[in-house]
Every structure is written in C-alpha cells, then in structure tokens.
C-alpha cells in the first residue's frame, strides 16, 4: 500500500488508513466472486445478507469509539487531534472486520455448504469471442473514467490543500 499511496497521492505524508483499508479492497473483490458463485447456485439470500453484516461491525466500532473516547472526543471534534484520528482508526478496523465477516466469510460458507463449486474455463466456448467483442466498449469506457479520477487525484494532491475537492 505504501507504493500505491506514493503513486496516487505524491504529497500525502499519511497513509496509515490506506494501509489499513487496502486489504478491504482485496477482500471485497474476492467477496464479489464468492457472491457471484452463490448466485450461480441460485442462493440469493446469502449475498444480500453478507452486505447487511458488513455494516454491523462498522456501526459497532463507531459506537465503541464514541462510548470509550466520548468525554474527550466531543470537545475535540472540530480539530484533527490524535483522539479524533484514533476514533477514525476504530472505524477503519470496523470496515475491515465487516469485509471479512460479511462479504467474504458468509458467501464462502454458503458455497461450501452446497454442492461446491468447480471452476472450469472453456476457451473453446462459441460464446466467448462474442462476449469479448461486446464487453470491450464497457471495459474501455470504465477504464477511462477510473484513469481520469486517478489523474485528478494525483495532480490535485500536488496542487495543495483542498485541490482534489475543487477539481
């Protein structure tokens, strides 16, 4: 995450939260695959329940941060004090726990509970070339949007405080 943080935000000296939340992105990607596997097995309740379970650890971490740090936190909310940053770390840990529990573990257990899933790639399937031709404009279009957003972030972080939101 340090390498990607230096590339995406050259002037950002922080990055602790990025390092904390980077596994969330990987977990969310794997969870999407697991939820897709549940859908192929016609199990639609588990993927929707996994998204609900994601919110429970986040809310619990936020509530715990407020109740444990509450006396000092209320007076320092307007500043970027270490206490306020510590409560933000609590939320980051809640997001990470929610991703592991709700989006990765539950669909994995659901796929294992059923008849299992065998992945087989058939490069000779007659629909594969048609799919690639139809999906190419979507892939290019989405890539351009993501590339534009990343360039705005890189140049905005070089321009000064608040420039990313201005752009």
- What does the DSSP assignment read for 112-142? HHTT-------TT-TTHHHHHHHHHHHHHHH
- Residues 35-73 have pLDDT tens digits of 787 788 787 887 787 777 778 888 888 888 777 766 555
Compute the average pLDDT of residues 16-42.
Answer: 78
CA–CA distance, 102 with 51 (Å, rounded to integer) = 6
CA–CA distance, 63 with 89 (Å, rounded to integer) = 13
Q: Which pLDDT value is given to residue 1?
A: 52
Q: Using CB atoms within 10 A of its CB, is residue 106 exposed (0-12), middle (13-18) or buried (19+)?
A: buried
Look at residues 73, 79, 110, 104 and name the one whose alpha carbon lies nearest to residue 91: 73
- Residues 136-158 have pLDDT tens digits of 999 999 889 888 888 887 788 77
Q: Is a pLDDT exceeding 80 seen at residue 93?
A: yes
CA–CA distance, 121 with 125 (Å, rounded to integer) = 9
């Amino acid at each position: 995450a340090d390498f990607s943080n230096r590339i995406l935000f050259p002037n950002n000296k922080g990055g602790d939260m990025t390092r904390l939340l980077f596994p969330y992105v990987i977990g969310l990607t794997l969870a999407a695959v697991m939820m897709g596997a549940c859908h192929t097995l016609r199990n639609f309740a588990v993927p929707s329940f996994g998204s609900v379970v994601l919110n429970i650890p986040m809310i619990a971490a936020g509530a715990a941060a407020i109740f444990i740090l509450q006396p000092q936190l209320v007076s320092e909310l307007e500043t970027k004090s270490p206490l306020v940053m510590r409560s933000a770390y609590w939320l980051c840990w809640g997001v990470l726990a929610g991703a592991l529990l709700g989006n990765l573990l539950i669909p994995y257990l659901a796929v294992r509970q059923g008849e299992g899933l065998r992945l087989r790639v058939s490069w000779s399937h007659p629909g594969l070339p048609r799919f690639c031709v139809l999906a190419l404009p979507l892939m290019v279009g989405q890539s351009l949007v993501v590339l534009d957003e990343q360039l705005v972030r890189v140049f905005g972080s070089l321009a000064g405080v608040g420039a990313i939101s201005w752009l």
